[in-house]
Chains A and B, each alone.
Chain A
Amino acid sequence: DTAVSQTPKYLVTQMGNDKSIKCEQNLGHDTMYWYKQDSKKFLKIMFSYNNKELIINETVPNRFSPKSPDKAHLNLHINSLELGDSAVYFCASSQASGAGTGELFFGEGSRLTVL
């Protein structure tokens, strides 16, 4: 069983379209994250949710909207896609916010290509 699973793994779309990436974790964790990894492998946090509540929201365009229907799911919706949104998006989870363990469990990534 995959601990953190994301779908789709690959997504190719045109500029201006709206797309979603879904994430589910079966680890029973309270906290979930979205990270963006650019073409140079630089990894940056976008959002973090703890038990369905937003706790971290980095400087991300408001075209990006996370949604957490329950603590096991954190989806990412992107409106009006731009070329610069092309990246690999990683979902991750951890046991508890504020625990300071630092151990995140990552999904395999969703590679988004905007043409």
Chain B
Amino acid sequence: GNSVTQMEGPVTLSEEAFLTINCTYTATGYPSLFWYVQYPGEGLQLLLKATKADDKGSNKGFEATYRKETTSFHLEKGSVQVSDSAVYFCALSPQGGSEKLVFGKGTKLTVNP
């Protein structure tokens, strides 16, 4: 079946540190891949996405590249801010257009000033 595995949290960083949150997936064919972010007390919102191999999604200084060969979609940011503190979810949408998103377990990020 389809599944997403994220690095265990929580992750605590100082402001301006480099961030990597690892995500790998298992799926048949060519799924679309996503990162969603959940700020405290809010619902999830789409951060970035990539729909085919070697695509790079980017938004708000965050980037992730769809690596078919390693079945990975790691999230990176060069310099985090306190306002980036949130829970980050990696997700996939199976090939064929199903809207049944499969989420990873989420990684909580805390950025200290």
Q: How far is the CA of A100 from the CA of B32 in the complex (A)?
A: 8
Given the known inter-chain contacts A43-B89, A100-B32, A102-B99, please indicate yes or no for A90 contacting B106, CB distance below 8 A: no
- B99 CB contact (under 8 Å) in A43, A100, A108: A100
Q: Are B42 and A43 within 8 A (Cβ)?
A: no
Q: B11-55 vs A: 1/0 string, CB under 8 Å? A: 000000000000000000000101000100111111001010000
**Residues of chain B lying within 8 A (CB to CB) of residue A56:** 100
Compute the total of residue contacts between A and B using a CB distance below 8 Å: 68
Interface bracket on A: 20 to 34
Interface status of A66 (Cβ within 8 A of chain B): no
Query: Is B96's CB under 8 angstroms from A100's CB?
Result: yes
Q: Are B100 and A4 in contact (CB under 8 A)?
A: no
Residues of B close to A107: CB separation below 8 A: 43
A61 at the interface (CB under 8 A from B): no
- A contact residues vs B (CB 8 Å cutoff): 4, 31, 33, 40-45, 48, 56, 90, 92, 94, 96-109
